[in-house]
């Protein structure tokens, strides 16, 4: 009787190994200091460093949630020369009869509880030239 030779399947044991590697990588079960652990850390680091900024739109933006609570004013920073603020244009527009610089002065006076002098005031526009607000530097 002739002997039947079964075909050799070179990839027969590969799928279980792939599942093993993927499950250990996802559940992070490799020991610290092993080469697998280092590879996973390297992949995460590479993703953080090499991913383009356009994927993440996490810049602070001006927003106005409720005019009654004086939202729409963001303090950027303070120096000896003065304090810098971003003020939402809708908040400034809500003081309609006043000119923008008078409205900004009034908004900041109400927020800071003392009169301020505007040192500089520049419009903040988005990429479509839509007015978002004003960048204001004031002195106390």
- Give the model's pLDDT for residue 7: 65
- 91 falls in which pLDDT band (50, 70, 90)? confident
pLDDT tens digit string along 22-78? 888 888 888 888 988 999 899 999 999 999 877 877 665 554 444 444 567 888 888
- Give the model's pLDDT for residue 77: 84
**Which one, of 112, 72, 68, 110, lies nearest residue 89 by Cα?**
72
- Give the model's pLDDT for residue 58: 67
Where exactly are the structural domains of the chain?
14-55, 67-139
Q: How many residues are there in the chain?
A: 140
55: helix, coil or strand? helix
* Cα dihedral sign, 11-13-18-21: negative
Q: pTM value?
A: 0.49
What are the φ and ψ backbone dihedral angles of 18, each rounded to 5 degrees? Answer: -65, -45
């Amino acid at each position: 009787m002739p002997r039947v030779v079964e075909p050799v399947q070179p990839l027969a044991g590969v799928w279980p190994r792939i599942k093993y590697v993927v499950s250990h990588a996802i559940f992070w079960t490799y020991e610290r200091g092993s080469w697998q652990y280092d590879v996973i850390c390297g992949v995460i680091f590479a993703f953080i460093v090499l991913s383009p900024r356009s994927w993440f739109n996490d810049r602070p933006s001006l927003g106005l949630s409720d005019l009654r609570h004086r939202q729409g004013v963001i303090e950027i920073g303070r120096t000896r020369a003065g304090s810098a603020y971003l003020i939402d244009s809708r908040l400034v527009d809500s003081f309609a009869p006043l000119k923008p610089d008078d409205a900004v002065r009034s908004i900041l006076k109400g927020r800071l509880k003392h009169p301020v002098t505007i040192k500089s005031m520049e419009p903040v526009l988005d990429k479509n030239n839509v007015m978002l607000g004003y960048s204001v530097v004031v002195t106390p």
